[in-house]
């Protein structure tokens, strides 16, 4: 029958329902906006959920100061277009200590992202934060609820998750506790790409192949995005046709060599690839197989 | 063996990506669960589906190979279970604890698989996974046949309303692909299925490990005519078609009001179809209007169906807010406040009969109390058993009563308007899930008797503001002593008062109640109701009850108008109360001859923010009584205190 909804229509309806439930039940919601493609889809869904009103919550960018320049540009543009407030938070302690991805390794993520996020949520008193994580990304995320509770110290207890039946979400919490909410939990990487294509969702141009200055380091193809990139002896900046499957801090995000310059070509490459998208992320490889689970227990998104 | 052509045509992706995408954007979606125990090969089957549909990438596979050698249970072979058991604790113990959601797709459909744990102790997690599923795959080990857990899983899936059941007889390779083994298991299962009301199921002989009859019919089972598992999953009719044909139901989530010219009602359509011009009725008010627009960011729609999130505008300015249900004007749902319901208990703390919980159904949240269960069901034998409560993972049938009318449909008619969760008011945990059967009385028929002499008139004649002075504290803390003195002084000041004392009430009104947790809750509930009637009559009521649970004290607070409940915590340390032991009860409790004694073997939940706190180690009863009377009559300059 013609009125059978497609998988994308069902996923969209589910995400919009989740966004509205949080707005109806939380006191101070916020959307964590990382400027990546998943954030782009989540922001678009929020605009749909509350149209013709602008989404009734601000965007929060927990900035590490090491994102790609193109990301900062799109971030500011999308804040303008959506009519939402953009809050940018940089951990002052990390700034004072000059924490950077070249010299501090795992401490960089911990201070700028994990600690920065906790500080920002506490400073503004947000009790619900939307995130663009998907269950197909990583094995501990596959087991995380859509409404994921965090203690007052932001910890996640994987063994004590609230049962989540039907589409009934229990948003009740004690003072100081907060919820991380993942409206696109049930989307796959392909779903996200198709949705971007069908809805003309603006994304950072770095997802498309172009000639960019690169360095190969520790088996990763890194882009030299600004002058802060220190070259090691023997390294040379080489221009290559590259693109990114995932975006984070530029010194920690591996590119792939590619000529996919259109959305169709990007999707084509995604479908034919044989490695997972988070493969280019240094963060997942910490602490053995349970890297993400441990980070989440400490308060990482 | 495995034919992966059903998943994606790599040639098409490579040659004409746009044609491929066009095809895939019109896919439908099926959500299913897999149930089985640790050894039935459930995780292996899911791993196989993901692997064959190319949802496992090289880097993940490399990690899996390493892990399989280190922790796996399949020797040198890849242990797919490690792929789906995502939590560190699960990998260490080799068991599935929580539901994992997995995704794969074929040319025709996208699939969301909820991989559910099999152990009885994780029934709550299985029910979570089942609640959103269109179909259930019940795995059976061909060597073992229909087991207790097969029955339990089937029963739960059926109760939660899953219409499509697939019986996957797994590990056929280990029984030599013997048809007679398969036939016998199917016959056994059919006998059981009939007995619990499952009229239809599809049985398949498979091997998740070897890949038989997963994506294509296997040469090892020439006697099996199909369909293969994936083919079946692709062709099962979706419930959404039926849902679109049912009468309109849309719980209102949020009122969209960007400016004075626009007022829209946002929600997810639970059933039915809506078009501009349709007559709708808003429940529970029953007001009617006409839909003028279906608003979306992509432009107004001519039609929206079950499963879509939309915003509706009406022709008339009628009251409509979160919790209301927009329905077809000529086929509205019922409104009631007392129901029979199936309950599944999800919390470590058992159901407390009479305790007030939050009930969330659709977008409605109300207070509810649960009566003693009519029976529980032994999920292994399907026997009905008598029960006083519901423990973790128990399933039973009970009457529930809400404090406000609830808009509902029977669960079997509409999952959204018939399924609910129960939330503990103090811990905020989701403690139960339920499915409404039918209403026991219509709220429309229960009217409050309109009284000509109002409560304000009663109070005015007495020249006082009614109130309940609720004394709470341990046995022997001094509640009755202080309450008595307070009453005497108020009486002397010309106030109309009445003192309800714990011991006295238990000799009369509540002599049928004992001291179990649920009897103590009922004891307090009755006292609260009596106190409320007395305040309606204009009296100042003093009560002296241990009232150990915060939930009941809060319940009585919520029954009374704001400011009329004054909680007085008589704070005496246990050692002091026990040393006094006026009635000799502590001694009995310590010796074990008195059970469920507060402070000894039953908890006392001290008030966090009482209006008045009396520390009996610093104040004499006389001093405390004077201070209380001064506070409530406004003799002291405490602006927060309501005065009588």
Render A133-174 in DSSP notation, one character per residue. --TTS-TTGGG--SEEEE-TT----GGGPPP--TT-------
**Same domain (yes/no): A156, A213:** no
Distance in angstroms between the alpha carbons of the first and the last residue of chain B: 84
pLDDT of residue B638: 45
Closest residue on chain A to B322 (Cα)? A24
Return the CATH fold of B334-440.
Elongation Factor Tu (Ef-tu); domain 3 (2.40.30)
Residue A199 lies in a domain: no
Question: Chain B closest CA to A280's CA: distance in Å?
Answer: 10
pLDDT of residue B340: 94
C-beta separation of A162 from A147 below 8 A: yes
CB contacts, 8 Å: A12 with chain B: 309
pLDDT of residue A47: 96
- How many beta-carbon pairs under 8 angstroms link A with B? 211
Contacting B residues, span 284-323, partner chain A, CB-CB under 8 Å: 295-298, 305, 307-309, 311, 322
Which of A179 and B98 is assigned the larger pLDDT? Answer: A179
- Secondary structure of A49-113 as H, E, C letters: HHCCCCCCCCEEEECCCCECHHHHHHHHHHHHHHCCCEEEECCHHHHHCCCCHHHHCHHHHHHHH
CB contacts, 8 Å: B608 with chain A: none
Q: What is the mean pLDDT of chain B?
A: 86
Has residue B186 got a pLDDT over 70?
yes
Interface test with B, best of A6, A157, A166, A177 (most B CBs within 10 A): A166
* Dist CA B369 CA B10 (whole Å): 57
Residue A198 lies in a domain: no
Convert the pLDDT of each residue in B259-276 to its tens digit: 989 999 999 999 999 999
Convert the pLDDT of each residue in A47-70 to its tens digit: 999 999 999 999 999 999 989 999
Residue A211 lies in a domain: yes
**Same domain (yes/no): A142, A211:** no
Has residue B637 got a pLDDT over 70?
no
**Same domain (yes/no): A183, A212:** no
Element spanning B288, H or E: strand B287-295
Instruction: Dihedral sign for Cα A83, A29, A204, A90, please.
Output: positive
Interface test with A, best of B53, B297, B359, B362 (most A CBs within 10 A): B297
Convert the pLDDT of each residue in B330-371 to its tens digit: 999 999 999 999 999 999 999 999 899 999 999 999 999 999
* Dist CA A42 CA A19 (whole Å): 9
**Same domain (yes/no): A109, A222:** no
Task: Decide: helix, strand or coil at residue B300.
Answer: coil
Q: Is B103–A188 a contact, with Cβ atoms under 8 angstroms apart?
A: yes
Has residue B507 got a pLDDT over 90?
no
Contacting B residues, span 52-71, partner chain A, CB-CB under 8 Å: 55, 57-60, 63, 67
CB contacts, 8 Å: A174 with chain B: 428
Render B434-469 in DSSP notation, one character per residue. EEEEEEEEEGGG--PPP-SS-HHHHHHHTTS--EEE
Has residue B135 got a pLDDT over 90?
yes
Percent with pLDDT over 70 in chain B:
88
Burial of A226 from C-beta contacts in 10 A (0-12 / 13-18 / 19+): exposed
CB contacts, 8 Å: A135 with chain B: 101-103
> In terms of Cα–Cα distance, which of B387, B393, B348 is closest to B370?
B387
Task: Establish whether domains B246-328 and B455-632 are of one fold.
Answer: no
Task: Decide: helix, strand or coil at residue B154.
Answer: helix
Known catalytic residue at B235: no
Has residue B251 got a pLDDT over 90?
yes
> In terms of Cα–Cα distance, which of B253, B353, B265, B352 is closest to B313?
B265
Which of B417 and B518 is assigned the larger pLDDT? Answer: B417
Has residue B590 got a pLDDT over 60?
yes
* Dist CA A301 CA A129 (whole Å): 9
In B171-286, where do the E strands start and end?
202-205, 249-251, 254-256, 264-268, 273-274, 279-283
Q: Is A158–B296 a contact, with Cβ atoms under 8 angstroms apart?
A: no
Structure tokens at B211: 């890949």
Q: What is the mean pLDDT of residues B178-191?
A: 95
pLDDT of residue B601: 85
CB contacts, 8 Å: A188 with chain B: 55, 103, 105, 110
pLDDT of residue B447: 41
pLDDT of residue B407: 95
CB contacts, 8 Å: B18 with chain A: 264
Interface test with A, best of B14, B298, B308, B416 (most A CBs within 10 A): B308
- 């059941």: which residue's tokens? B165
**Same domain (yes/no): A186, A277:** no
Q: Is B26–A3 a contact, with Cβ atoms under 8 angstroms apart?
A: no
Is the ipTM higher than 0.95? The answer is no
B360 CB near a chain A CB, below 8 Å? Answer: yes
Q: What is the mean pLDDT of residues A202-219?
A: 93
Which of A287 and B554 is assigned the larger pLDDT? Answer: B554
* Dist CA B424 CA A162 (whole Å): 12
Asked whether the bond before B146 is cis by omega within 30 degrees of 0, the reply is no
B254 CB near a chain A CB, below 8 Å? Answer: yes
Has residue A171 got a pLDDT over 90?
yes
Task: Decide: helix, strand or coil at residue B276.
Answer: coil
Question: Chain B closest CA to A99's CA: distance in Å?
Answer: 30
Structure tokens at A283: 């963060």
Interface test with B, best of A50, A139, A193 (most B CBs within 10 A): A139
Q: Is A142–B86 a contact, with Cβ atoms under 8 angstroms apart?
A: yes
**Same domain (yes/no): A23, A126:** yes
Question: Chain A closest CA to B427's CA: distance in Å?
Answer: 8
* Dist CA A67 CA A226 (whole Å): 10
Number of domains composing chain A: 2
Has residue B108 got a pLDDT over 90?
no
Residues 6 or more apart whose CB falls under 8 angstroms from that of B261 comprise none
* Dist CA A7 CA B24 (whole Å): 9
Q: Any idea where the domains of chain B sit in the sequence?
A: 10-239, 246-328, 334-440, 455-632
Eight-class DSSP state of B296: -
Residue A2 lies in a domain: no
Interface test with A, best of B83, B101, B157 (most A CBs within 10 A): B101
Convert the pLDDT of each residue in A229-246 to its tens digit: 888 888 889 999 999 988
**Same domain (yes/no): A29, A122:** yes
**Same domain (yes/no): A160, A84:** yes
Q: Of A174-178, B190-194, B247-251, B304-308, where does mean pLDDT reach its minimum?
A: A174-178
Residues 6 or more apart whose CB falls under 8 angstroms from that of B508 comprise none
**Same domain (yes/no): A51, A186:** yes
Residue among B296, B358, B433 whose CB faces A51 most closely: B296
Return the CATH fold of B246-328.
Elongation Factor Tu (Ef-tu); domain 3 (2.40.30)
Sort residue B161 into left (φ over 0), alpha (ψ -120 to 50) or beta.
left
Has residue B119 got a pLDDT over 80?
no
Convert the pLDDT of each residue in B486-503 to its tens digit: 999 998 888 999 998 877
Structure tokens at B176: 């030599």
Has residue A39 got a pLDDT over 90?
yes
Q: Of A273-287, B366-380, B618-632, where does mean pLDDT reach its minimum?
A: A273-287
Has residue A44 got a pLDDT over 80?
yes
Q: What is the mean pLDDT of residues A28-42?
A: 95
C-beta separation of B109 from B29 below 8 A: yes
Which of B296 and B461 is assigned the larger pLDDT? Answer: B296
Residues 6 or more apart whose CB falls under 8 angstroms from that of B579 comprise none
Closest residue on chain B to A192 (Cα)? B25
pLDDT of residue A287: 40
Closest residue on chain B to A270 (Cα)? B13
Question: Chain B closest CA to A56's CA: distance in Å?
Answer: 10
Question: Chain A closest CA to B163's CA: distance in Å?
Answer: 15
**Same domain (yes/no): A96, A222:** no
Q: Is A293–B88 a contact, with Cβ atoms under 8 angstroms apart?
A: yes
Residue among A6, A142, A165 whose CB faces B421 most closely: A165
* Dist CA A247 CA A204 (whole Å): 9
* Dist CA A293 CA B91 (whole Å): 12
**Beta-bridge mates of residue A244:** none
Which of B462 and B567 is assigned the larger pLDDT? Answer: B567
* Dist CA B10 CA B107 (whole Å): 11
Render B586-606 in DSSP notation, one character per residue. HHHHHHTSS-S-BTTTB----
**Same domain (yes/no): A101, A39:** yes
Convert the pLDDT of each residue in A252-299 to its tens digit: 899 999 999 999 999 888 877 755 655 555 444 444 445 566 666 666
Please give the residue range of the domain that contains residue A237. Answer: 204-283
Q: Is B433–A163 a contact, with Cβ atoms under 8 angstroms apart?
A: yes
Q: How confident is the model at residue B91 (pLDDT cuts 50, 70, 90)?
A: low
Structure tokens at A6: 């497609």
Residue A1 lies in a domain: no
Give the long-range contacts of residues B196-203, CB within 8 A, separation 24 or more. Answer: B196/B154, B196/B155, B196/B158, B196/B382, B197/B158, B198/B154, B198/B158, B198/B165, B200/B165, B201/B165, B201/B166, B201/B167, B202/B164, B202/B165, B202/B166, B202/B167, B202/B227, B202/B232, B203/B166, B203/B167, B203/B168, B203/B169
Question: Chain A closest CA to B256's CA: distance in Å?
Answer: 7
- CB count, 10 Å around CB of A24? 17
pLDDT of residue A3: 59
CB contacts, 8 Å: A163 with chain B: 124-125, 127-128, 346, 421, 430, 433
**Domain at B10-239: CATH code:** 3.40.50.300
Q: Is A168–B419 a contact, with Cβ atoms under 8 angstroms apart?
A: yes
**Same domain (yes/no): A179, A274:** no
Q: What is the mean pLDDT of residues B278-295?
A: 94
Q: Which of B37, B218, B475, B547 is catalytic?
A: B547
CA atoms within 13 A on the CB side of B19: 9
Has residue B70 got a pLDDT over 90?
no
Residue A28 lies in a domain: yes
Residue A222 lies in a domain: yes
Report pTM: 0.80
pLDDT of residue B1: 42
pLDDT of residue B583: 83
Residue A165 lies in a domain: yes
The CATH class that applies to domain B455-632 reads alpha beta
Contacting B residues, span 390-419, partner chain A, CB-CB under 8 Å: 415-416, 419
Number of helical (H) and strand (E) elements in chain A, helices listed first: 10, 10
């Amino acid at each position: 029958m013609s009125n059978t909804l497609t998988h994308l229509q069902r996923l969209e309806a589910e995400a919009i329902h989740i966004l509205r439930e949080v707005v109806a039940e939380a006191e101070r919601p916020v959307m964590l906006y990382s400027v990546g493609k998943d954030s782009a889809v989540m922001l678009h869904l929020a605009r749909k959920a509350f149209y013709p009103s602008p989404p009734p919550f601000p965007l929060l960018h927990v900035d590490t100061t090491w994102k790609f320049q193109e990301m900062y540009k799109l971030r500011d543009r999308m804040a303008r277009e959506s009519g939402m407030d953009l809050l940018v938070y940089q951990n002052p302690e990390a700034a004072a200590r000059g924490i950077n991805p070249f010299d501090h390794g795992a401490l960089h993520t911990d201070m700028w992202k994990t600690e920065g996020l906790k500080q920002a949520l506490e400073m503004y008193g947000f009790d619900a934060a939307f995130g663009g994580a998907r269950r197909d990304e990583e094995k501990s995320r596959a087991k995380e609820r859509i409404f994921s509770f965090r203690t007052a110290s932001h910890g996640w207890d994987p063994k004590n998750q609230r049962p989540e039946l039907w589409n009934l979400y229990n948003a009740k919490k004690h003072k100081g506790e907060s919820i991380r909410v993942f409206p696109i939990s049930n989307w796959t990487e392909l779903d996200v790409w198709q949705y971007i294509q069908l809805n003309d969702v603006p994304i950072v141009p770095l997802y498309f192949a172009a000639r960019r200055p690169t360095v190969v380091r520790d088996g990763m193809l890194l882009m030299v995005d600004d002058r802060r990139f220190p070259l090691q002896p023997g390294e040379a900046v080489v221009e290559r046709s590259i693109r990114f499957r995932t975006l984070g801090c530029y010194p920690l995000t591996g590119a792939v060599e590619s000529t996919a310059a259109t959305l169709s070509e990007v999707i084509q490459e995604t479908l034919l690839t044989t490695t997972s998208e988070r493969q280019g992320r240094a963060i997942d490889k910490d602490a053995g197989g349970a890297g993400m689970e441990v980070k989440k227990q400490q308060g990482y998104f | 063996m495995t034919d992966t052509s059903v998943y994606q045509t790599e040639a098409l992706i490579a040659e004409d990506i746009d044609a491929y995408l066009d095809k895939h954007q019109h896919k439908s979606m099926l959500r299913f669960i897999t149930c089985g125990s640790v050894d039935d090969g459930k995780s292996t089957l899911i791993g196989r589906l993901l692997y064959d549909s190319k949802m496992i990438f090289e880097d993940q596979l490399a990690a899996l190979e390493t892990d399989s050698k280190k922790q796996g249970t399949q020797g040198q072979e890849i242990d797919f279970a490690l792929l789906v058991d995502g939590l560190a604790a699960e990998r260490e113990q080799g068991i599935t604890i929580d539901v994992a959601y997995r995704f794969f797709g074929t040319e025709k459909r996208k699939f969301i698989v909820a991989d559910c744990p099999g152990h009885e102790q994780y029934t709550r997690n299985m029910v979570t996974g089942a609640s959103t599923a269109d179909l259930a795959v019940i795995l059976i080990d061909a060597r073992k046949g229909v087991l207790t857990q097969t029955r339990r899983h089937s029963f739960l899936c059926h109760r939660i309303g899953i219409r499509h059941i697939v019986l996957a007889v797994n590990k056929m390779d280990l029984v030599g692909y013997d048809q007679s083994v398969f036939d016998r298991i199917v016959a056994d299962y059919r006998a059981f299925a009939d007995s619990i009301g499952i009229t239809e199921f599809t049985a398949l002989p498979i091997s998740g490990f070897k890949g038989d009859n997963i994506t294509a019919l296997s040469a090892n089972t020439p006697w099996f005519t199909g369909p293969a598992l994936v083919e079946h999953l692709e062709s099962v009719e979706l419930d959404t078609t039926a849902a679109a044909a049912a009468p309109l139901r849309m719980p209102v989530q949020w009122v969209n009001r960007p400016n004075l010219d626009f007022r829209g009602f946002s929600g997810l359509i639970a059933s039915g179809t809506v078009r501009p011009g349709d007559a709708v009725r808003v429940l529970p008010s029953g007001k009617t209007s006409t839909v003028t627009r279906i608003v979306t960011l992509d432009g107004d729609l001519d039609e929206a169906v079950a499963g879509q999130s939309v915003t509706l505008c009406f022709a008339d300015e009628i009251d409509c807010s979160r919790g209301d249900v927009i329905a077809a004007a000529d086929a509205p749902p019922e409104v009631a406040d007392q129901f029979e319901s199936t309950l599944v208990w999800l919390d470590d703390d058992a159901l407390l009969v009479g305790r007030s919980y939050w009930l969330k159904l659709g977008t409605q949240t109300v207070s509810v109390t649960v009566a003693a269960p009519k029976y529980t069901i032994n999920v292994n034998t399907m026997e009905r058993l008598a029960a006083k409560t519901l423990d973790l993972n128990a399933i039973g049938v009970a009457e529930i009563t809400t404090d406000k009318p609830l808009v509902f449909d029977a669960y079997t008619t509409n999952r959204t308007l018939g399924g609910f969760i129960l939330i503990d008011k103090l811990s905020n945990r989701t403690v139960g899930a339920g499915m409404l059967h039918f209403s026991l009385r219509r709220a429309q028929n229960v009217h409050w008797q309109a009284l000509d002499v109002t409560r304000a008139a009663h109070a005015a004649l007495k020249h006082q503001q009614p109130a309940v002075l609720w004394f709470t504290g341990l046995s022997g803390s001094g509640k009755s002593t202080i309450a008595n003195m307070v009453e005497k002084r108020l009486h002397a000041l010309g106030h109309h008062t009445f003192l309800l004392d714990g011991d006295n009430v238990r000799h009369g009104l509540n002599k049928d109640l004992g001291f179990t947790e649920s009897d103590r809750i009922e004891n307090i509930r009755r006292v609260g109701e009596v106190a409320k009637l007395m305040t309606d009559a204009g009296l100042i009521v003093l009560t002296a009850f241990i009232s150990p649970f915060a939930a009941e004290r809060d319940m009585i607070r919520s029954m009374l108008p704001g400011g009329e409940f004054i909680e007085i915590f008589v704070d005496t340390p246990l050692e002091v109360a026990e040393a006094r032991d006026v009635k000799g009860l502590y001694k009995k409790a310590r010796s074990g001859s008195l059970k469920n004694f507060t402070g000894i073997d039953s908890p006392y939940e001290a008030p966090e923010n009482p209006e008045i706190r009396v520390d009996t180690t610093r104040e004499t009863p006389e001093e405390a009584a004077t201070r209380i009377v001064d506070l409530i009559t406004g003799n002291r300059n405490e602006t927060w205190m309501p005065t009588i």
